[in-house]
Structure 1
Amino acid sequence: MSSIRKLERDYAKADRAALVGLLDRITEADALTRLGLESRLAELNTQIAAQDLEPETTHASAALFFGGRPVIGSQGIEAEFGTGAVATFQDLVSKVLAKNTSGLRVKGPIANKSAATMHITNIVRGSFGFLLEEVHDQAQLIDTNLKEAVEEASELLDIFGEADEERFQTTVVEVDQRILATTRDFFELMRQHGATLRMVAGESEFQFGSEAVARGFERASGTSIEEDEKSLDGQLAGVLPSAHQFEFRARGGDTLKGKVDPAWTAIDLERWNRELVGVDATVDMAVKRVLRHGQIARENYVLKGIAPKIDSAAAAHDKA
């Protein structure tokens, strides 16, 4: 059972326990009140039984429970903050989905943004929060792309806010600059309004207290990403076809490691191991640099293509 469905069941069980307590205290003189409470108790029992039998959802959902200065208990939330936080989270999900499916452009409209649309389907208890869900007419047997994007976006926010610096450094190198900017906007909004957050997505639950919000904002605002492409001469040391990983000894002594572009198949990589290892070659690399406060913290390489160097003297001899 997903965390959100478990929350709904727990709320129903809490209501049921409260009703049972009230019924225990009602006298025979309160017959009408007892009748109403027993009717409500029967509804809750039916609801809980149905929840226990519900199949696991394959659609996207996320519950955002806000606390702190913008929230008045479970009564309400500042409209400007609440709408801004939900809109920024939706924007982050849209960009993660675009990156995973069609690629996220440096500028311009987000591709297929309508596919990332989520709806506020309920106001949830536990401070004050919103339940966001993917609305679909038909059931699916496998997780939707949007469900995966929501869970990835939620985990990304958690990584920015948690204390583990190594996990942050490892993850941020995979992040797009536009995703980074939206992450910064989310934490900045939370920080400015003195808000906290409890987030439930899929099987996971994340907590963002004031320290996590401050840490997330500092990391997102102090980090930038540069991307470019370059060609290098050297020799391929080898590739791991199943993992799509490579090792390349560049001319000058540097050994570079990274991923091979997924456009190349495992069969292609097996051929590289047979034909190109130890051969003078030129590779095309996509290079991503993570800068922390202007200093390079990490570099990531993606091998886009490789071609053996042609020995011009040998070629001329063969032609002669």
Structure 2
Amino acid sequence: MPTLLSIEALEADKRYVERQLLEAGDSPWGTARLMWQSRLAEITQQIAEAARSKSNYATVALIFDGNPVIGSTDIRLDFTTDALDSYQKIVSLSLASRLVEELPQTGPLPGRDQSRLFIRDLVHGSMGFILEELPPQQHEMLPSQLKDAVEKTTELISTLSGGEDDEFELALEHTPPRLLAAVEKFAKVLYEAGASTRIVGDDNRLTLSIDEIGRLSRRLGELDITEEFDSMEGVLLGVLPEARKFELKLPGEDSGTIEGTISEDLAFKYTSDIAFKERLLLQPVRAQMKIIRTMRNGRLVRERRVLEALEPTTSG
């Protein structure tokens, strides 16, 4: 169970016990008072132990309310399927974005098999699901990459849904378009169903009302993400295959340089074909670029260049 969810339950018990202590009176010898004092000390110790005993593996609770939920025991199947599936896609993309510099716009994701979450239990007293990763047979000493992706997912949704516009746009600059589209789908599923949600993990928690989910859905709906291809010439100053970075000097003394990321296929070609590398490095080249622009209400908020292909050219 997520640490913060365990602590929430213990803190609710603690508040109840504190109320009972107030009702028990001031007599230090009352049996009831001694019992509640003992129980309070026990709960306080359990809270401290829960805060220290975090798992190294991903665990998160998704708790829903609103139109799809009837009481605390029933929830619409179609909504649950869509909500959990769209959340899983955000987590998968969050993990993949930590494994590679540039996410592919379509197709399989890096680390897809590592990103799977499983329903471990239900949240008692409300309609929610506890999702966890399957721990490997050999225990890991450090938090898993999936655990980090789950916590970062909560942080990202919190940043995109709250705060001022400048904070929102700063988050856009550092978030891959495919990941933004996944968050938009999650928000749309909730908003169209008239649902609110709480997301509770080991380190982060987030509560979104229906109005806040609507705001998030509208904000992300204002984005227009486009791709175009461009060919340009210059001198290849360097490629860092592991970091997936490149630097290209444009023609002319005062034209400067451009930087960006390189595609996975080109990185593999560059590292595995020595002759290809020697023909290109510090030589005039023709570069095939993919330019990805994120616009909001007609204004550019993010632009990324991805080097897709290189070939030598005789022009300097």
Q: Give the TM-score taking structure 2 as reference length.
A: 0.67
User: SS of 2:123's equivalent?
Assistant: strand
Pairs within 5 Å for 1:1-320: 4-15=2-13, 18=16, 51=50, 54=53, 56-71=54-69, 75-76=72-73, 78-80=75-77, 81-101=79-99, 105-108=104-107, 110=109, 113-124=112-123, 128-136=127-135, 137-173=137-173, 175-234=175-234, 250-251=250-251, 257-261=258-262, 263=267, 276=282, 282-292=286-296, 296-303=300-307, 310=314
Conserved 8 A contact 1:235-1:280: yes
| CA distance in 2 between partners of 1:90 and 1:287 (Å) | 28
Mind listing any 5+ residue stretches in structure 1 that lack a counterpart?
A: 27-36, 266-274, 313-320
Conserved 8 A contact 1:245-1:257: no
Q: Which residue of 1 aligns with 2:32?
A: none
Conserved 8 A contact 2:61-2:201: yes
1:82 positional shift = 3.3
Change (3 A) 1:201 1:125: same
User: What are the Cα deviations for residues 274-307 of structure 1, in whole angstroms up to 9, with x where unaligned?
Assistant: x95xx86544534211133576543212456778
| CA distance in 2 between partners of 1:155 and 1:251 (Å) | 42
User: SS of 1:212's equivalent?
Assistant: helix
Change (3 A) 1:59 1:293: same
Change (3 A) 1:203 1:38: closer
Worse overlay, 43-52 or 150-159: 43-52
User: SS of 1:142's equivalent?
Assistant: coil
RMSD, aligned CA: 4.8
User: What are the Cα deviations for residues 226-270 of structure 1, in whole angstroms up to 9, with x where unaligned?
Assistant: 3354332246799999998777564587656543449589xxxxx
Conserved 8 A contact 2:198-2:205: yes
Change (3 A) 1:256 1:205: farther
1:92 positional shift = 2.1
| CA distance in 2 between partners of 1:39 and 1:121 (Å) | 32
Conserved 8 A contact 1:176-1:225: no
User: SS of 1:67's equivalent?
Assistant: strand
| CA distance in 2 between partners of 1:112 and 1:195 (Å) | 30
User: SS of 1:290's equivalent?
Assistant: strand
Q: Give the TM-score taking structure 1 as reference length.
A: 0.67
1:309 positional shift = 5.7
User: What are the Cα deviations for residues 98-137 of structure 1, in whole angstroms up to 9, with x where unaligned?
Assistant: 4444775544455664432212223336854322111214
1:8 positional shift = 0.7
Corresponding residue pairs, total: 297
| CA distance in 2 between partners of 1:186 and 1:43 (Å) | 40
Mind listing any 5+ residue stretches in structure 2 that lack a counterpart?
A: 25-35, 272-280
| CA distance in 2 between partners of 1:174 and 1:52 (Å) | 31
User: SS of 2:134's equivalent?
Assistant: coil
| CA distance in 2 between partners of 1:306 and 1:254 (Å) | 20
Worse overlay, 76-85 or 254-263: 254-263
Q: Which residue of 2 aligns with 1:272?
A: none
Percent identity reads 30
Conserved 8 A contact 1:258-1:300: no
User: What are the Cα deviations for residues 160-194 of structure 1, in whole angstroms up to 9, with x where unaligned?
Assistant: 32243334334435545543433222111111122
| CA distance in 2 between partners of 1:241 and 1:166 (Å) | 33
| CA distance in 2 between partners of 1:49 and 1:173 (Å) | 38
Conserved 8 A contact 1:177-1:224: no
User: SS of 1:59's equivalent?
Assistant: coil
User: SS of 1:88's equivalent?
Assistant: helix
Worse overlay, 193-202 or 13-22: 13-22
